[in-house]
Amino acid sequence: MSKRKHPSTGGMHPSNPYSNNPPDFAALAQKYPSLKPYVMLKTQQVSGKPSVYGAINFRDPLALRELTYCLLRNDFSIELDIPLDSLCPAVPNRVNYICWLEDLVGHSEKKTVSGIDVGTGASCIYPLLACVRNKTWQMVGTDISDDSISFATNNVARNNLQNSITVLKNNTPRIFPPELFALENKKYDFCMCNPPFYKDEQDIHDSQSSKTDIPAAVCLGNENEMVTEGGEVQFVMQMIHESMVLKDTIRWYTSMLGKRSSVDQVVAFLKEQKIANYIPTTFHQGRTGRWAIAWSFGDEHPSWETTQQVSAKMAKLSAPKTVLAFDVAKSLGSVLDSTRAILDDLQLQYMYDAEEQDIQVDNHHSRVVQVQATKNTWSRAARRAMSRQAKSNPPKSDPTEPIVLQFDIRVISATTTSTSSSLTSSSASAAKLPNNSTLHLAWTFGQDRDLFESFFLHFRSRIEKG
């Protein structure tokens, strides 16, 4: 069970090592002399006393590249070599994307996860970070540029990750070349992409001119990395078209977006194509904002952790909520006892380790119960039928019955909480009481939203009355 901290709004991902922990340029320059020429020492007042700190000119491409090298070497033991005219990856922002994917596909040290990086670039940064952070992940990085393929292949070898990362030249006009699926029944857990933002050189100029401030960092890159016909929106639309053929060959299709306006257009296109299982998010690195979108054709829904990374503004663009919540004036232990009693009464399968330690974050304690249902056992008709059957012939579970609904019940105890559902409990004032809990029901599997919602309403009513 994940014990990582998750805030309720967007920002730098809390699992990102740079979250609330910005790099110390001065200390980094002391450790790596190659960075020293690019670090300027400045003084600021801290609590009325002068304090020296290091600063870097982010508009100097040489400084930017050297900083990237040093951050990757220091924090991830990754050695990199990239040409000066290629995109220099901003490390904290790239890590944000990987952290979000870990939430999306399930973060486990034992589970093998396979992913595709579309347009991996000369750095091959996403596969490198993904496989260094997750030892059981397997990545394929694709690119259309011979130079990028050459540098990416060398960067993989430089870090001895040839057994985890494959670099593949895409010689087709498709985003997903057939070679990715050459093995029979080959499937992937996710794909990721940082598409070219702009549709032409004029689009680059217009984008820079529209900024009221001088850009904080220089943005260099070759034409393949910066420009694509129709810009990033058309590129992601092509991804969506191809995904509609590939379907669940890839569990989660994802892409980063460089413009906020692009998110609206991509979400609108997903809705036009009747793709209802999707989730947007926001990545932050200092003053720089980036966005991402994920969509799926499977029965799996975004995890609770993933939904916590959706800001209030992005939530307005999200698909119908997969997490419903309510407050109740009861202790965590009392709610857990009632929850198990209700699930037993409804003859639902669930996983709960009574010996597991509470997850504690910011004085909040939480426990998770994972529930599976093969049919509706909570409607009035179903409960009457079960009651009659119990009198004449005690029911027996059938392990062959397919699961139609799966969800997590997360119980959080706190002194102050808030609800996040339009189906909010009438006892929301319980949040002010010292002995209260918030319950989050996160729909993780199934096609029938009405079934999930009906359980939520039944469960909430019994918890509040119990």
Confidence label for 319 from pLDDT (cuts 50, 70 and 90): confident
Strand order from edge to edge, sheet including 137-143: 165-169, 137-143, 113-118, 188-193, 250-257, 288-295, 278-285
DSSP state of 324: E
The confidence score (pLDDT) of residue 238 equals 96
The confidence score (pLDDT) of residue 422 equals 40
Return the minimum-mean-pLDDT range out of 10-14, 220-224, 225-229, 461-465: 220-224
CA distance linking residue 324 with residue 455, whole number of Å: 11
The confidence score (pLDDT) of residue 466 equals 76
CA distance linking residue 435 with residue 217, whole number of Å: 49
Return the minimum-mean-pLDDT range out of 82-91, 142-151, 282-291, 301-310: 301-310
Share of the chain above pLDDT 70, in %: 78
234 touches 265 (CB < 8 A): no
Q: What is the mean pLDDT of the chain?
A: 82
- 128-142 burial: b if 16+ Cβ within 10 Å, else e: bbbbbbbeebbbbbb
The confidence score (pLDDT) of residue 344 equals 93
Nearby residues of 186 by Cβ (< 8 Å), 6 or more positions away: 180, 249
In tens, the pLDDT along 225-246 reads 555 677 899 999 999 999 999 9
